[in-house]
Structure 1
Amino acid sequence: MNLNSVHNIYFIGIGGIGMSALARYFVANGKQVAGYDKTQTELTNELEALGIEVHFKDSIDNVSKNFLNAEKTLVVYTPAIPEAHSELHYFKENGFQILKRSKVLGLITQNTFCLAVAGTHGKTTTSSILGHLLAECGVEVTAFLGGISENYNSNLILKGSKVSVVEADEFDRSFLTLSPNLACITSMDADHLDIYEKKEALEESFKDFSKKIKPNGKLFVKKGLPLKGITYAVDEKADYYATNIRIENGSYVFDVKTPSQHIKDILFNLPGRHNLSNALIALAMAIEFGCAPYSLVSALASFKGVKRRFTYKIKTNSLVYIDDYAHHPEEINAVHQAVREMYPNKEVVVVFQPHLFSRTRDFIDEFAASLSQFDKVLLLDIYPAREMPIDGVTSSWLLSKINNQNKALIEKKNIALEIKKSNAQIVVTLGAGDIGVEVDKIKEQLSIAS
């Protein structure tokens, strides 16, 4: 379909991080935009400030008449929307053009030079770094991000329409709607087994994604993954690799060896080897795109990070509070590594909200092992997201498997109170559910205490 012929875009689930980026994009391109979401959030407030009509009760009566013309309106939804949703049902029954978010992203980017970031971990940070690098180097780029970039205070970087940066999401095989010119795969760890059932099926979908790259395009893969492409690695030889890594004043300084040159003394301000890996692949893709390395070095130094990706909420001599979106055992391991590297010999308390009953069930032992590494573990109830409860799958079950005597199951309202009971100098909150809503409250209560 031709998006230029569409006057109105209606989003079901407009407050989602990916959906709201599309909504911002269409407003910037002169479209009339409105939508529904289940919950009012800071994101929906920002959309309303742009002039977008948003309502929070599932009823076609709440949809403006302008958007009830099937010839002029495109309806966009996400897989998280249930089949029983009454508005979605109405649009289906009345002949509206209805597309998933991923399909719309494919349509927007198909006539651009597209750089896509895939992988079960690292997509948001990598695509945010990549979008920032290209923008700082003067590229006419639009970047659709799965998080809020600290540099732009937005999940959309809008600097032009010739080049696009997108997250290639493996959930529901959404990334198969893309046809990128350059793409990377950061990781292929098992996840979304509610969709794929087996790790092998997930890996096969990444292989299918690698075949979607346009002719003469390039695939970058983290060294060790079972795919052919330009390899990258941290402290290990590859086509692109980071070496001579050191920490200076709380930041990484490192060199990068490319197939043709040696770039020295690159400054990067985000902690953790996982973030260093994300920075490396973003640099590699930007270099292969054609950006000058000296411009990229200064651009990377100015990257501030992504909200809820190892975000410092409090950073004093007596107390450090870090918040992160980590919701998979490997992501928790990465956060733990970063914390221990930056704050050796300090006591660390973690507050974790499991995300999805199915993910908790599928990785129960891995979650237990990753959380056991912290000095104190505080668990919240499982955030269900799109799922109904699964019999026997509870946070109490997870707690029983954690090999750490200093652990407890707590309620959201008591998070700060429970943290204060410990002597920990480092506090970490983790999870992809609504724990993010609690972060500023926790910060305020801990700031008063400290």
Structure 2
Amino acid sequence: MHIFFSGIGGSGIGPLSLIALRMGYDVSGSDKRNSDYIEQLRKNGKVSIVITQSYDSISKIHMQNPIDWFVYSSAVSIEQPNSPEFQFCADHGIMATKRDKLIKHIIDAKQLQLIAVAGSHGKTTTTAMIIWLFKALNIPISYSIGGKISFGDIGTYHPKSTFFVYEADEYDRNFLAFQPYIAAITGTTWDHPDTYPTEHSYIQAFRDFVKQSKYTIVWQSGKEQLDIQINKDTVIIQDDDSHIMLFCLIGEVNRRNAWQAVWVVHIATNISISELIEHVNRFPGVSRRFEQIRPNLYTDYAHTPAKIRGALQVAHEIAGNNVAAVYEGFQNTRQHFMKNDLCHLFDDVKHVYIVPIYLAREDPGLEILSPNTLRTFLNDQTQGNTTPSQLDETLKTQIQQHINSGDLVLGLSAGSSNSLDEWLRRTFELPI
């Protein structure tokens, strides 16, 4: 079977295309730009990828090897509802679906049990920790994760695996397509207002997700927010559980993620909690999750208030009050949604630099919020320590001055090509 992936460079489609490749399917795809996911795919096998999304380009691939299944990302369907690739599939009778249909096909065809990690924050790290534990235990595992890990590919299929570990994104209601064997819910702070216009609709989606799952692992605070029924297949983790202190990982958010990951693998394998804690304490981390670029300079994918608070807590745990932040808001739509939450978000930061918003999946009717405008949403004291900035030599000099003085500088960026994260790496990464 030949599967064509539209949006193959994204964090949802990229891992899935690698899984399909490992399963022996013919894989091709397209995207608007190159990405780390595309480079990883090219290294792992013969994949035909075009950096354009046109009728002609997909036609040429189809002529060389007829396409059986066209899988597209949510971003493609939203940004390009009249995509020429969609038209090509309609003209040639090619099945076109979102990624969830293919994932379900793989799970059903290979009789795998689904471990789904869902929630508003901590999904990627918790998923990575679960994968790390299975690998540490030498238990074959298939998985899809939305971030780069040093101990495996972004996605893989193992023919001897029993479980499929999946970072189940709530965006576009993707996670409701599945009936997990084990569901871990990391948090339920309202997000994605373009999919969930009210907080109630967001919470209700997670309630539905719990109903579709056999086992559920959720924090006490999440259980209260979801108001779910407890039964023998529900594990409620206390927010102040004393076991969290047994983890030697830096950052409260990482210790909490680790404790939930331990519970997931304990239920899946019945291996003792103490052994799992020992293994997860050696977890090496995930790309762009408080990743060090050079001494005193870190980058983090945090782009919601809860994630930003978590990343800043890690920074303060390392450097005390000597923390500077460079903030690149992810999506103008999201900045409008969370602007009131910005007020006290950076209160304990020594200095904040705000660069232009990274634009993606935008509402054209909304005013683009400039760095100067975003600054006005901070409290008066923090505004005095905030500089509207650009990704330029001036910012480079300011960051270098912080580094030289011993401050920890944290870049907050969820964008990809031409983002703050990419600029920091290009500007400051030390030669190997």
Unaligned runs of 5+ in 2: none
What is the rounded CA distance, in whole Å, between the counterparts of 1:20 and 1:212 in structure 2?
Answer: 26
Structure 2 partner of 1:364? 339
Q: Bigger CA drift: 27-36 or 158-167? A: 158-167
Asked whether the equivalents of residues 2 and 66 of structure 2 are also in contact (C-alpha less than 8 Å), the reply is: no
Asked whether the equivalents of residues 368 and 401 of structure 1 are also in contact (C-alpha less than 8 Å), the reply is: yes
Matched, 1:338 2:335: no
Matched, 1:300 2:294: no
Following TM superposition, by how much is the alpha carbon of 1:372 offset from its aligned partner in structure 2, in angstroms? 3.5
Matched, 1:199 2:199: yes
Structure 1 partner of 2:148? 148
Q: Bigger CA drift: 74-83 or 399-408? A: 399-408
Structure 1, residues 354-405: CA drift from partner, whole Å, max 9, x if none? 0111110011021232133311111111111111441253332211122311
What is the rounded CA distance, in whole Å, between the counterparts of 1:334 and 1:176 in structure 2?
Answer: 27
Following TM superposition, by how much is the alpha carbon of 1:89 offset from its aligned partner in structure 2, in angstroms? 2.4
Asked whether the equivalents of residues 333 and 363 of structure 2 are also in contact (C-alpha less than 8 Å), the reply is: no
Matched, 1:89 2:87: yes
Q: What residue identity is the alignment partner of 1:26?
A: A
Matched, 1:440 2:425: yes
Q: Give the structure with the larger strand fraction.
A: 1
Structure 2 partner of 1:108? 106
Structure 1, residues 180-225: CA drift from partner, whole Å, max 9, x if none? 1011111110100111111110000000111111xxx211111112
Following TM superposition, by how much is the alpha carbon of 1:424 offset from its aligned partner in structure 2, in angstroms? 5.5
Structure 2 partner of 1:329? 305
What is the rounded CA distance, in whole Å, between the counterparts of 1:18 and 1:61 in structure 2?
Answer: 25
Structure 1 partner of 2:50? 55
Following TM superposition, by how much is the alpha carbon of 1:70 offset from its aligned partner in structure 2, in angstroms? 10
What is the rounded CA distance, in whole Å, between the counterparts of 1:136 and 1:130 in structure 2?
Answer: 10
2:138 alignment partner, SS class: coil
1:412 alignment partner, SS class: coil
Matched, 1:218 2:218: no
Assess, with a 3 A threshold, how the Cα gap between structure 1 residues 326 and 366 changes in structure 2: closer, same or farther.
same
1:196 alignment partner, SS class: coil
Q: What residue identity is the alignment partner of 1:281?
A: Q
Unaligned runs of 5+ in 1: 1-6, 246-253, 255-266
Assess, with a 3 A threshold, how the Cα gap between structure 1 residues 369 and 93 changes in structure 2: closer, same or farther.
farther
Asked whether the equivalents of residues 369 and 402 of structure 1 are also in contact (C-alpha less than 8 Å), the reply is: yes
What is the rounded CA distance, in whole Å, between the counterparts of 1:155 and 1:169 in structure 2?
Answer: 15
What is the rounded CA distance, in whole Å, between the counterparts of 1:64 and 1:92 in structure 2?
Answer: 12
| 2:411 pairs with one of 422, 426, 429 | 429
Following TM superposition, by how much is the alpha carbon of 1:140 offset from its aligned partner in structure 2, in angstroms? 2.3
Following TM superposition, by how much is the alpha carbon of 1:78 offset from its aligned partner in structure 2, in angstroms? 1.0
Asked whether the equivalents of residues 12 and 75 of structure 1 are also in contact (C-alpha less than 8 Å), the reply is: yes
Assess, with a 3 A threshold, how the Cα gap between structure 1 residues 109 and 416 changes in structure 2: closer, same or farther.
farther
Asked whether the equivalents of residues 117 and 185 of structure 1 are also in contact (C-alpha less than 8 Å), the reply is: yes
Structure 1, residues 271-318: CA drift from partner, whole Å, max 9, x if none? 211111110011001111124225423431332111000112223xxx
What is the rounded CA distance, in whole Å, between the counterparts of 2:248 and 2:134 in structure 1?
Answer: 16
What is the rounded CA distance, in whole Å, between the counterparts of 2:248 and 2:177 in structure 1?
Answer: 33
1:80 alignment partner, SS class: helix
What is the rounded CA distance, in whole Å, between the counterparts of 2:63 and 2:342 in structure 1?
Answer: 46
Asked whether the equivalents of residues 75 and 96 of structure 1 are also in contact (C-alpha less than 8 Å), the reply is: yes
Following TM superposition, by how much is the alpha carbon of 1:155 offset from its aligned partner in structure 2, in angstroms? 1.2
* Identity rate, percent: 26
Q: What residue identity is the alignment partner of 1:285?
A: V
Structure 2 partner of 1:282? 261
What is the rounded CA distance, in whole Å, between the counterparts of 2:314 and 2:186 in structure 1?
Answer: 18
Q: What residue identity is the alignment partner of 1:323?
A: T
Q: What residue identity is the alignment partner of 1:419?
A: I
Asked whether the equivalents of residues 169 and 175 of structure 1 are also in contact (C-alpha less than 8 Å), the reply is: yes
What is the rounded CA distance, in whole Å, between the counterparts of 2:237 and 2:63 in structure 1?
Answer: 49
2:283 alignment partner, SS class: coil
Q: What residue identity is the alignment partner of 1:272?
A: G
TM-score w.r.t. the length of structure 2 is 0.88
1:381 alignment partner, SS class: strand
Matched, 1:165 2:161: no
| 1:19 pairs with one of 4, 13, 17 | 13
Q: What residue identity is the alignment partner of 2:345?
A: S
2:237 alignment partner, SS class: strand
Q: Bigger CA drift: 430-439 or 175-184? A: 430-439
Structure 1 partner of 2:349? 374
Assess, with a 3 A threshold, how the Cα gap between structure 1 residues 28 and 377 changes in structure 2: closer, same or farther.
same
Structure 2 partner of 1:399? 375
Asked whether the equivalents of residues 357 and 394 of structure 1 are also in contact (C-alpha less than 8 Å), the reply is: no
Structure 2 partner of 1:258? none
What is the rounded CA distance, in whole Å, between the counterparts of 1:113 and 1:191 in structure 2?
Answer: 28
What is the rounded CA distance, in whole Å, between the counterparts of 1:222 and 1:113 in structure 2?
Answer: 23
Structure 2 partner of 1:37? 31
Q: How does 1:227-242 map to 2 (within 5 A)?
A: 227=228, 228=230, 229-236=234-241, 242=243
2:356 alignment partner, SS class: coil
Structure 1 partner of 2:360? 385
Q: Bigger CA drift: 65-74 or 435-444? A: 65-74
Q: What residue identity is the alignment partner of 1:75?
A: F
Matched, 1:74 2:49: no
What is the rounded CA distance, in whole Å, between the counterparts of 1:328 and 1:184 in structure 2?
Answer: 20
What is the rounded CA distance, in whole Å, between the counterparts of 1:371 and 1:54 in structure 2?
Answer: 41
Q: Bigger CA drift: 30-39 or 132-141? A: 132-141
Structure 1 partner of 2:292? 312
What is the rounded CA distance, in whole Å, between the counterparts of 1:437 and 1:297 in structure 2?
Answer: 34
Q: What residue identity is the alignment partner of 2:34?
A: Q
Q: What residue identity is the alignment partner of 1:177?
A: A
Structure 1, residues 232-282: CA drift from partner, whole Å, max 9, x if none? 13434xxxx525x2xxxxxxxx1xxxxxxxxxxxx543x211111110011
2:154 alignment partner, SS class: strand
Q: What residue identity is the alignment partner of 2:103?
A: L
